[in-house]
Copies of this chain bind each other. A is one copy, B any other.
């Protein structure tokens, strides 16, 4: 990442006072910090004169040490200003401005003489702050967090887009309700998952998106989650005040820290325009620049894969039908193949041919390695070895064949939550990838974490996810992690972390379905922290056409599936449907073939969480634009201007839109495609069906 511009002003070291204010560079935000009675750190935030965060307490409770939430005096306050523009390795835009006012409040606890710094950074799009614990004395090097007590006191009973708070899964449907309604809706919101641990009837996850009655959009999340437990929020629904609730370890503690250290940043992104939430780069800006010296090997990818056929139940990850596998002991040559195994050499070659014929970069193959017959639900320790293929999967031949067609194969490492086992094999597994031409891995953490008692989002396991990414970088391997902790902008620092799942993806369309408004919310929630491997592109929305026993259906129109390539940003983007389904709709498939996966610029043309989002993105290194619109369960008219195009320049637009009779439930495959000449003066009104949307490619002439 290049640093384009940079300025830093140390304003001054302010004399200690019990209250202090700063303003954002554009003066739209006001942050107040004060010590309340008893030396309790307290902050509040206003946006254009409206309260966003009412006075809220700050601090932490410790185990076997004095809590760091009261009895403080202000030792000093340092303020400064920062303005830098940097270039991401990949992204929605080619450069990002990091511009903020900073206030670092150094607090001294009277009884213990422990020092704690609260560092606030106030941007034009919101606030980030964190706790820092300098190393000042020998009796405060190591400490254990009982709970972090950061409050976010809301100014009203906002509309919220929330998931049940959980230590093990983010794969819930988003519930849209008033804050005061969370308690009543919690029970239904907690749907079954392979691993789940809720903690409170008013506990919710972040990124949490809200909208006030006065039309203020507010997003709360965290940035730079490193060596710390992931944050949930627990709501006091009398006072509409959230308090942080961290993921515990097996003993119930929330974190083990060593000075000098700091927490992740707590972020509050605010605007009176929903679009500004989507374009905010505040979370990336609060992460560190990458330390990788060479990033030339990190490349966005568009891929197909041996995956949807297993998700729908047409084929299996497993090679045989048996319930009892002892890895390394079970002799696969003696097992009878079940005849439904997806990852066979022959089948993978079909996908390679399809990928090569249609301009994809790679083919994902799941179910290639031994163990899948008996991998799940038993908290098994030695479940996979990540290097032993099934008898019908020829690693060397497929490497040769794929390479001959210019296609990469994407590795799959399902861990089944057995994290130690994965780390045991990690070096060997990554080297196996290098030796066989793989440069990207999709990893998975389905089921309870081992050792028992640990959770998916605790400090110890968060360290694992990052370890896997850093270790992968040593082998020039890109990572797409599933069932891992929510993203917090770490891809800025570790850009080989291309994407994660960490939410309810397309797979749930085959497990009962996603809400029709699901993709109008995810960019405001899950995607705030980084790209999601949502795996769009399902053309055959009736799953029973693939597997007659599966009566789920995809809750979108075909046209909206195209739109998702633009609206669900990811540098690791799948065309998830079966090749034969794409071949049935070659005109619509053309958009997937054309669409970019890396961008120089991004505009949000329309946005309202839960209702619709329309993005326009400029493909990297070109003058071509791609537009995508995702629409909720109500038919709506999209009204956009193409004024983002170069003035006076001519373009040809191809519009892939819902047919007149399209409807995600009744007629999802109705679409029309039209070509037209457009310029920056062009305005378009496009009708979006229920659960519909559209996609447009705009090619410069």
Chain A positions near chain B (C-beta within 8 angstroms): 135, 138, 141-142, 249-251, 253, 256, 258-259, 323-324, 326, 374, 378-381, 419-420, 423-424, 426-428, 450-454, 460, 463-464, 467
Contacts of A452 in B (CB 8 A): 249-251, 253, 256
**Identity of the chain B residue whose Cβ is nearest the Cβ of A380 in the assembled complex:** B258
Helix, strand, loop or mixed for chain A's interface?
Answer: loop
Q: Are B251 and A453 neighbours in the complex by a CB distance under 8 Å?
A: yes
Contacts of A138 in B (CB 8 A): 323-324
Q: Are B259 and A142 neighbours in the complex by a CB distance under 8 Å?
A: no
Q: Given the interface contacts A423-B423, A424-B423, A467-B424, does A378 sit within 8 Å of B453 by beta carbon?
A: no
Q: Are B451 and A250 neighbours in the complex by a CB distance under 8 Å?
A: yes
| Seed contacts A256-B381, A259-B324, A451-B460; 15 additional CB < 8 Å A-B pairs | A141-B374, A142-B378, A249-B452, A250-B451, A251-B452, A256-B379, A258-B326, A258-B378, A258-B380, A419-B420, A424-B467, A427-B428, A451-B451, A451-B454, A453-B453
Cα separation A381 to B452 with both chains bound (whole Å): 18
Contacts of A426 in B (CB 8 A): 424
**Identity of the chain B residue whose Cβ is nearest the Cβ of A459 in the assembled complex:** B381
Contacts of A142 in B (CB 8 A): 378, 380
Contacts of A427 in B (CB 8 A): 427-428
Q: Are A381 and B463 neighbours in the complex by a CB distance under 8 Å?
A: yes
Q: Could you pull out 8 A-B pairs where Cβ atoms are within 8 angstroms?
A: A138-B323, A249-B453, A251-B452, A253-B452, A420-B420, A423-B424, A451-B451, A453-B453
Query: 7 tightest CB-CB pairs across the interface, nearest first?
Result: A250-B250, A250-B453, A142-B378, A427-B427, A141-B324, A251-B453, A251-B452
Cα separation A379 to B451 with both chains bound (whole Å): 17
Contacts of A259 in B (CB 8 A): 324
Cα separation A249 to B448 with both chains bound (whole Å): 15
Cα separation A381 to B251 with both chains bound (whole Å): 16
Q: Are A135 and B324 neighbours in the complex by a CB distance under 8 Å?
A: yes
**Identity of the chain B residue whose Cβ is nearest the Cβ of A259 in the assembled complex:** B324
Cα separation A453 to B256 with both chains bound (whole Å): 14
From the candidates B249, B423, B424, name the one contacting A451 in the complex (CB within 8 A). B249
Contacts of A460 in B (CB 8 A): 381, 420, 450-451
Distance to closest chain B CB from A568 (angstroms): 34
**Identity of the chain B residue whose Cβ is nearest the Cβ of A143 in the assembled complex:** B378
